[in-house]
């Protein structure tokens, strides 16, 4: 199959293909999604096949407005309206109890719940409206690889396997949406996956919010099935460098003494300081967690294609957006962290 790159003005063609049961990748503010008609079981099955995704990992249903959700959910938990008003369209996925006989178990992974999100991208909203059906939309990468933040990333992973990609340039945020479970018995919402909408922002709107234990301990079974899979991993091993120039300096010397070719993912301040000591650099520019997050997956993908043995990546404090950044980076690094007091032998 030839994968067509649709320019942003070709939404109508893309929507027709969705209605015919084809797969079209779409832009969002977080990462690119792999779109299919959520009501077409064959199309949804094809999504799992082309991604190589485990079938017990449920999908997020993307809608063009809140009204679309009301067809598939009968009882809305008490914080729903406040959250939708505050954060939709935007990087917040909400989990509700699903109305029976609406979505197939292929969408829900056999759970009694379903995840919804209204993405903040005008072209994708137009795509959903024109297709006039809700779209499933897992990140449009091969399962296990870093999520795609450009149409080129999608093409790299899925060309030949999907009908098209709706290109709207690089995404703004760079990591997937915050997933919030509203179906808890005590009515306290639980964050199942950290994203750009932070715990503080949510608490400002609804009062108390908790974080799924799995995100903290890594021991208990995760409630969002997707969190248990190895994710976001380049083939080259990744190490997180938790510290400033002195720690990078030690890490680089240690790797060089082992004849390792090094790739560096860090701000301009750090990549420029070490450019002559390493084989490849990917700078995300200004030294801020927003910039780091925006380019994290693009940086890992780019370095992975160079001839290197190890990637050193900059850490950020685990607060606000830093929680989402470090959550994805730790998965990519398999929890490997270098600190100033680590021993480099």
**From 30, 64, 139, 178, residue interacting with Mg ion (rule: CB under 5 A):** 139
Q: How far is the CB of 298 from ligand TXA (least distance, A)?
A: 15
Residue 193 assigned to a binding site: yes
Numbers of helices and strands, H then E, in the chain: 13, 16
Binding mask 1-30 for ligand TXA (x = CB under 6 A): ---------------------------x-x
CA gap 98, 76 in Å, rounded: 10
Kindly state the tokens that stand for 330: 């730790």
Half-sphere exposure of 183 (CA within 13 A, CB side): 19
281 is in the binding site of which of ligand TXA, Mg ion, none (Cβ under 5 to 8 A by kind)?
Answer: none
Cβ-proximal residue to ligand TXA, closest one: 226
Using CA atoms in the order 103, 153, 328, 214, what is the torsion angle rounded to 10 degrees? 20
Residues in the chain: 345
- What ranges in the chain are assigned the alpha helix state H? 11-19, 41-51, 66-69, 80-87, 105-108, 122-131, 151-158, 199-206, 213-217, 245-257, 268-274, 289-304, 321-332
Q: Residue 139 interacts with ligand TXA (CB under 6 A)?
A: yes
Residue 139 assigned to a binding site: yes
Q: How far is the CB of 62 from ligand TXA (least distance, A)?
A: 6
Q: Residue 342 interacts with ligand TXA (CB under 6 A)?
A: no
- What ranges in 98-233 are assigned the alpha helix state H? 105-108, 122-131, 151-158, 199-206, 213-217
Q: How far is the CB of 139 from ligand TXA (least distance, A)?
A: 4
**From 106, 121, 149, 177, residue interacting with ligand TXA (rule: CB under 6 A):** 177
Q: Residue 146 interacts with ligand TXA (CB under 6 A)?
A: no
**From 22, 40, 167, 176, residue interacting with ligand TXA (rule: CB under 6 A):** 176
Residues that bind ligand TXA (CB under 6 A): 28, 30-31, 33, 57-60, 91, 93, 95, 108, 111, 113-115, 117, 119, 137-139, 176-177, 179, 192-193, 223-227
Residues that bind Mg ion (CB under 5 A): 139
């Amino acid at each position: 199959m030839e994968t067509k790159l649709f320019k942003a003005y070709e939404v109508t063609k893309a929507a027709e293909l969705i209605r015919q049961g084809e797969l079209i990748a779409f832009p969002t503010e977080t990462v690119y999604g792999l779109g299919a008609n959520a009501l077409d079981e064959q199309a949804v099955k094809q999504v799992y096949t082309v991604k190589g995704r485990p079938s017990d990992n449920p999908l997020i249903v993307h809608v063009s407005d809140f009204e679309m959700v009301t067809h598939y959910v009968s009882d809305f938990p008490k914080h729903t309206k406040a959250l939708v008003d505050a954060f939709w369209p935007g990087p917040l996925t909400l989990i509700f109890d699903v109305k029976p006989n609406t979505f197939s178990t292929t969408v829900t992974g056999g759970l009694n719940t379903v995840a919804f999100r209204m993405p903040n991208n005008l072209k994708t909203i137009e795509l959903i409206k024109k297709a006039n059906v809700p779209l499933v939309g897992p990140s449009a990468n091969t399962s296990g690889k870093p999520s795609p933040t450009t149409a080129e990333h999608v093409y790299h992973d899925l060309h030949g396997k999907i009908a098209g990609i709706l290109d709207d340039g690089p995404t703004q945020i760079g990591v997937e949406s915050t997933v919030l479970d509203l179906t808890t018995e005590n009515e306290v919402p639980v964050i199942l996956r950290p994203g750009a909408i932070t715990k503080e922002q949510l608490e400002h709107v609804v009062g108390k919010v908790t974080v799924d234990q799995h995100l903290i301990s890594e021991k208990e079974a995760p409630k969002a099935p997707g969190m248990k899979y190895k994710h976001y991993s380049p083939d080259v091993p990744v190490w997180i460098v938790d510290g400033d120039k002195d720690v990078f300096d030690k890490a680089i010397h240690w790797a060089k003494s082992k004849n390792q070719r090094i790739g560096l993912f860090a701000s301009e301040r750090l990549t420029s300081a070490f450019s002559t000591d390493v084989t490849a650099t990917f700078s995300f520019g200004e030294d801020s967690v927003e910039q780091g997050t925006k380019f994290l997956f693009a940086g890992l993908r780019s370095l992975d294609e160079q001839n290197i043995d190890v990637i050193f990546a900059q850490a950020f404090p685990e607060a606000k957006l830093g929680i989402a950044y470090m959550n994805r980076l730790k998965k990519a690094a398999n929890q490997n962290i270098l600190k100033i007091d680590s021993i480099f032998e």
